[in-house]
Structure 1
Amino acid sequence: MKKRQVVIIGGGPAGRTLVHMLHASGQKMSVTLIKDEKINANRCAVPYGIPDEKPLEKFQIPNALVTDFGAKLVIDRVEKIDTIKKQVFTAAGGGYPYDELVLSTGSRPVIPPIPGVEGKNITAVRSIKDLSLLRQLASTGKRAVVVGGGYIGIEVAVVLKQMGLDVTVVEMLPSILMATTEPEFIERVTEALSEKGVQLLTNEKVVEFVHPSADQVVVKLGSGESLAADFVVLSVGVAPNTELAAQAGIKTSRLGICVDRHMRTDAEGVSACGDCAEKTSFVTGQPTRGEFGTNAVFMAKTVAHNILGKKKTFPGIINANVTAVYDWSLGSAGLTEQMARDAGIDVVTGYSDVLSKYPMMSPVDTIRTKLVFNRENRKIVGGSVLRKGNCSAHNVDFISFAIQMGATMDNLMDYQYATHPELAAKPSDNTYVFATKTAMSK
C-alpha cells in the first residue's frame, strides 16, 4: 500500500505539532516539512534573550524536533503550489508531490512604511537574526525607542530598562496594551512602568526616522517632538503570510488563509493553521485576530486529526494570553468588555479584589479579577486578571476553560475551590466567585 504523502510548509509551533501528532499515530505516511529559516527562534522568548547572559542557542528551536519525529526536513523556500497536480516547488528546484498539504507559513513583522525605517539600527523582534542584532545594539547603546505598546513592545521595554538603558515607548493608540487588557488594569501597569522610569508616549505617531550618523537615529513624531536614540525596536504587530496561498488561487482575506471548521481551505487536500490562517472567535463566531503560539498548536491538532481520518472541527479561538511587567503578571481570555460591546453583546461585568493568602500571612497581595458576561444567557464571555507574582497564567487558564465549557454565573457561584493559608484566599473568598457575585448584583 502506497504511503500517504504529507507536505507541511512552515516550521513554527503549528508545523512541529503536526509532525509530532502524525508520528505518534503510527500510521504509514511520508511527512516532509519545508521551511525557509535554518533555525527558528522561540519567538515569545526573544525579548528575554536580549541580555547576553545565556547563549543564543537557548532561544532557538532545534531542528531535531522535526527530524527526530520521522519527518524529512527541507531548508528551502516554497515558490509555487500546483493544487491541480498536487505538488509544491521550491527555490532550489525541488518538487514535492502531496496527498495532503498543510500551510503553516506563519506571519511576519509589520514594518510600517515610515521614511528612514530601513536604517541598520532599526529592528523588529522576531527571528534569531533580530535577536542577534538586538543584543549588539543593546550592549553598545544607551537610549532606545520602542514603537508599539502591545505585549512584545512592553516586554522589550522592560528588559532594556533593566539593562540600564533609557527607554521610551511610542504608542499611537490612547493607551498601551489596549488589544488585550481591560482599562482598569492598564492604569496600574502604566504606573508600574513609569515608576521604573520607562517613558510612555501614547496618542503619538512616528512620522520619520532620521539618521544623523551610522549609530544614531532621531525619531520624529506627529506632534512635532523628536526623540534621539541609539536604536529603535519595531513592535507594531504581524501580518499573515498568505501570498503563497493566494498565488495558488486559494482564498485568503486580510486576516489570513480562509479555512472551514475542519481547517480545510477551498483547494482539495490543502489545510492551513497557525498565524497564516484566518481565525474565528469562539464566543462570536466571527473572524478575529489571534497570533499566539498556543492558537497555532490548537489549530494544528485539528488538522492532524482530520489527516488521520478522525473527523474533528475547530471551535474557534479564546485567545488566552498573559504577560509580565516587573512584579506584576496579567492576562485575559475571551473578550474584553469593549470587544464584547463592539460585537453587539449586551454585557454585564463583575470586578473583585481578593487577597492571595489568608490576611494574617505575609506577604499578602491582591488578585484583581474582571469577568464579562452575556446578560441575556448569563454565560461568561471574557475575563482578565492582574496580580503580583507569576501566577496569572493559572487564573487566565481557568477563565479560558470556563468560557470553553459555556459556564454561567450560576456555575461560577457554585464553583468548588481549594483553600490554604499560604496558597489561597480564606474559605469564604474566591476571586471568580466574588467577581461573579458583583455581576449578578447588576
Structure 2
Amino acid sequence: MKVVVVGCTHAGTAAVKTILNEHPDASVSVYERNDNVSFLSCGIALYVGGVVKDPAGLFYSSPEELASMGAKINMEHNVKNIDNENKVVVIENLKTGETFEESYDKLVMTTGSWPIIPPIDGINSENILLCKNYNQANEIIKESKNAKKIVIVGGGYIGIELVEAFAESGKQVTLVDGLDRILNKYLDAEFTSVLEHDLQERGVTLALNQTVEKFVANESGAVTAVKTPVGEYEADLVILCVGFKPNTDLLKDKVEMLPNGAIVVDEYMRTSDEAIFAAGDSCAVHYNPTGGSAYIPLATNAVRMGALVGKNIVSPTVKYRGTQATSGLYLFGFNIGSTGLTENSAPHFGVEVRSVVVEDNYRPEFMPTTEKVTMKLVYEVGTNRIVGGQIMSKYDVTQSANTLSLCVQNKMTIEDLAYVDFFFQPHFDRPWNYLNILAQAAVEQERKLAK
C-alpha cells in the first residue's frame, strides 16, 4: 500500500505515526511545505511572552523521528496539483524548483488551515503580521522587541493570549474586534464581562464592536495606526488573529466540501473519494451538541482525526466520536474551561436552550483556603440534554470542562449530572461536587417552570 500524506502538523503527524505503527509494511511519503513538523501553535503566546524559553519544546515530533519509523520525509516540498482520477500528485521541491509526480493508493490530506487575511486598505503595510506557525512566531518576537504600541486584531483565544503576553511585558496594547465581546465563540457574557474588566484594569484598550476600516502607514510603508469607525489607534506593530480558513484548494470540486471549503469526511475519515482521507483543520467535524457538521479548527480535533486516519487507512475500523470543541484558557490568573454550545451560539445552530449560572466555593469554607467557581450549564429545552458548559475560577477547575464535555458527548441530561457519583474529600471538593450543584440548579429551574 502506497500512501501519500500532504501536510504534517498535528493531523499529519498523528496519521503518519499511526499508519506506520499499525501497518509497518506501508510505503508512506510525506510532503510538507515548511521546514518543521508538529508545531504547537497554541504555545505561540507562551513563546512570545518568554514563558517558554526553548522553542524546541513546542515540537512533539520531528522529520527525523518520522523517518526512523519508516516514512519518506520531504520537507519544503509543495504539492501543486492532485489528479484524483489517476491517483497522482504533482510536487515542487521548493529548494531546487524541480517538479515531479508521485502516484498513490491512498492519499491523506492534512493541509490544515491558514489565517484569514481580510481585504482591508493598507493590509500590506510593513509590521502587520500573522500568527500561525513557527516562523511567524519568531517574526512576532523579533518585531515586538522595539514596538511600544501593539494592536491585536481579533479577540479569540490566540488574540487574547497575545494581549496578555504583551501587557505582561509592559507594552501598550489595544485589542480590536468586530464583535461586542471577547472570546465570543467560547464564553457567555457572565464570564467575558469579568475578563474584560480585568483587562481594562491592567491598561489594555478594548476597541470592541469595531471593524478595521484601514491600516494607516507612513511614507516608508510601515503601519502607524489602525482606523475603525469609532477611532484611530496608534500602532508600531499589528497582529492579525481574525480566524482561520481551511487550506483545501487542491481538492476543490474533487471531493465534497462545506461552503467555506472544509472537507466533509465520514466517521472513518474518508472523503467522498474513497481513495482520499482527510483530517484536521482542513476538515469539517461532527459537532456532537447539534449532531451536524461544523468547522472547528482545534489541535485536539486534529490529532484525534489524524490517528483515526491511520486506524482506518486499510479498512473501516474505528469510528470518530465527534467533538464538543472543548477548550481551556489561562488568562491573568483565571482558569477557564468551555465545551459545547454557549447560550449565545445556540440560536445560530437552531437549538433552543435554557441555562443556569451558579457561583460557589470549590471546597468547604472550613478549609484554610478556598476559591469561588463561576459555572454555567446550557441544556436543550424539552429534552434537558446538556449541550454546553463554562467554568472559571482562580483555582484550577479546568478539568471539569472535560467532565462536561463527556456529558455532552454521551447525551447526558441535567438530572444525570445532578446526581452522578463524584467523590467527596474536603481537600478537593464539597459533599456535593460543584458540578452536581450546577446541574441541581438546572433541575430546580425546570421544576419551577413546570408548575
- Which amino acid counterpart does residue 432 of structure 1 have in structure 2? L
Aligned to 1:34: 31
Equivalent residue, structure 2, for 1:319: 325
Q: CA deviation at 1:276?
A: 0.4
1:402 aligns with 2:407: yes
Give the TM-score of the pair, scaled to structure 2.
Answer: 0.91
2:86 is the counterpart of 1:85: yes
Q: 1:350 to 1:139 in 2, by over 3 A?
A: same
**Distance apart, 1:11 and its partner CA:** 0.6
| Displacement after TM superposition at 1:281 (Å) | 1.3
Q: Is the 8 A contact 2:263 2:271 kept in 1?
A: yes
Distance change in 2, residues 1:224/1:335 (3 Å): closer
CA change 1:65–1:399 in 2 (3 A) is farther
How far is 1:346 from its partner? 3.0
* Contact 1:121–1:215, Cα closer than 8 Å, also in 2: no
Instruction: Report whether the alignment pairs 1:370 with 2:372.
Output: no
Structure 2 residue 67 is the aligned partner of structure 1 residue 67:
yes
State the partner residue of 2:393.
387
Gaps of 5+ in 2: 94-98, 446-451
The superposition leaves residues 355-406 of structure 1 with CA deviations (integer Å, 9 ceiling, x where unpaired) of: 12321334321111111112322221111111114441x1111111111122
Question: 2-side partners of 1:131 and 1:27: how far apart?
Answer: 35
Give 2:441's aligned amino acid.
T
Q: Is it true that 1:352 corresponds to 2:358 in the alignment?
A: yes
**What SS does the corresponding residue of 1:338 show, helix, strand or coil?**
coil
- Work out which of the residue numbers 18, 21, 45 in structure 2 matches 1:21: 18
- Cα offset, 1:70, TM superposition: 2.2
In structure 1, what is the equivalent of residue 423 of structure 2?
A: 418
Aligned-partner Cα distance in 2 for 1:88–1:145: 41
8 A Cα contact 1:60 1:128, kept in partner:
no
Q: Name 1:252's counterpart in structure 2.
A: 257
Deviations 1:57-109 (A, max 9, x none): 34345323422332111120001111122121101323222111110100001
Aligned twin of 1:100: 106
Give the Å deviation of 1:164. Answer: 0.8
Larger displacement relative to structure 2 (98-107 or 301-310): 301-310
1:417 and 1:224 mapped to 2: Cα distance?
Answer: 50
- List per-residue Cα deviations over 1:413-442 (Å, max 9, x = no partner): 2211123333x2221x32211111111122
Is 1:212 the counterpart of 2:218? The answer is yes
1:441 aligns with 2:444: yes
- Single out whichever of 336-345 and 79-88 deviates more from structure 2: 336-345
> 1:109-133 deviations in whole A, cap 9, x for unaligned?
1111112111221101112221111
Could you tell me whether the CA contact under 8 Å between 1:382 and 1:403 is conserved in 2? Answer: yes
Corresponding letter in the other structure for 1:14: A
Stretch deviating more after TM superposition (213-222 or 362-371): 213-222
Q: Is the 8 A contact 2:6 2:31 kept in 1?
A: yes
1:290-313 deviation per Cα after TM superposition (whole angstroms, max 9, x unaligned): 110001122223322221424333
Give the TM-score taking structure 1 as reference length.
Answer: 0.93
Note the aligned Cα RMSD (angstroms).
1.9
Distance 1:390 1:108 in 2: 32
Q: Find the aligned partners of 2:32 and 2:101 in 1 and give their Cα distance.
A: 14
- Fraction of identical pairs, as percent: 28
Distance in 2, Cα, partners of 1:280 & 1:255: 16
Aligned-pair distance for 1:259? 2.1
Secondary structure at 1:382 match in 2: strand
Greater CA deviation, 167-176 or 23-32?
23-32
CA–CA separation in structure 2 for the residues paired with 1:229 and 1:13: 33
2:56 partner letter: E
Aligned to 2:96: none
The 1:156/1:287 distance shift into structure 2, 3 A limit, reads same
SS at match of 2:422: coil
Aligned residues: 435
My pick for the range that moved more, 49-58 or 398-407, is: 49-58
Q: Deviations over 1:34-53 (max 9, x none)?
A: 11011243211111111457
Q: Is 1:204–1:221's contact at 8 Å kept on the other side of the alignment? A: no
Any conservation in 2 of the 1:78–1:91 contact (CA below 8 Å)?
yes
Contact 2:377–2:388, Cα closer than 8 Å, also in 1: yes
Gaps of 5+ in 1: none
